[in-house]
Amino acid sequence: MRPTRKTLAREVLRYLIIGGAVAIALSTPYGVHRLMREVKKEFKRRKLSQKNFQDTFSYLRRRGYLHMESRHGQDFLGLSKKGREIARTYVAFQVPSIPRPQRWNGKWHIVLFDISTKKQSARNSLRFMLKRLGFCQLQKSVWVIPFECRKEIESLKSFFGLSDMEVRLVVSTEAGNMRHYRKIFDLG
């Protein structure tokens, strides 16, 4: 059974998000072409035609999910606001997990955020994703996990369009009395 255009569009949105391509300025003028090549490879792997590929991207642009722009000789590919909202629902159940090392290195990874009420949706979504990743809440906007998570936090910041001033990751060996959290994370 051939996938529908809507199904293919959903897959492309998911691929763009998971691949970290959402609203990222690509480093060279040929960056968009490289990204397209990667998506094309995925289409070929699934034995889908060049026409399916073109139709899917046209569909996403017509529906207002994708936008491409050129600034200062550099191409940018991103999801529009509408595209991000739709895409969030597609990836909500595919949250990457933070790998648990064999042995804990004694460091706490603490995420602090201060996101304005104008971005309430992003704030609530970030909170939801931190829970899904296995973080524990210390305070309303302070979350902790004892495992390396820099890559995942950077991806979330990029996806939700948050700055370094709005979301910070602090790594520390001292974080006060953490006995309760040692039990939660089964650290002994």
pTM above 0.75, yes or no: no
pLDDT at 19: 47
Q: Collapsing DSSP states into helix, strand and coil, what is residue 171? A: strand
Query: Which pLDDT does position 176 carry in this prediction?
Result: 81
pLDDT of 64: 85
Distance, in Å, from the CA atom of 15 to the CA atom of 48, rounded to the nearest integer, reads 15
pLDDT at residue 170, rounded to an integer? 95
Amino acid at 136: C
- Residue-level pLDDT at 117: 85
pLDDT of amino acid 17: 57
Whether the CB-CB separation of 144 and 168 falls below 8 Å is answered with no
Which domains are assigned to the chain?
A: 5-91 (1.10.10.10), 108-184 (3.30.70.240)
Degrees, nearest 5: CA angle 139-156-89: 100
Give the pLDDT confidence score for residue 37 in this predicted structure.
66
Under DSSP, is residue 170 helix (H, G, I), strand (E, B) or coil? strand
Round to whole Å and give the CA distance between 113 and 116: 10
What was the pLDDT predicted at 23?
A: 36
For residue 66, list its beta bridge partners: 79
pLDDT < 50 positions in the chain: 19-31, 93
Give residue 77's pLDDT: 64
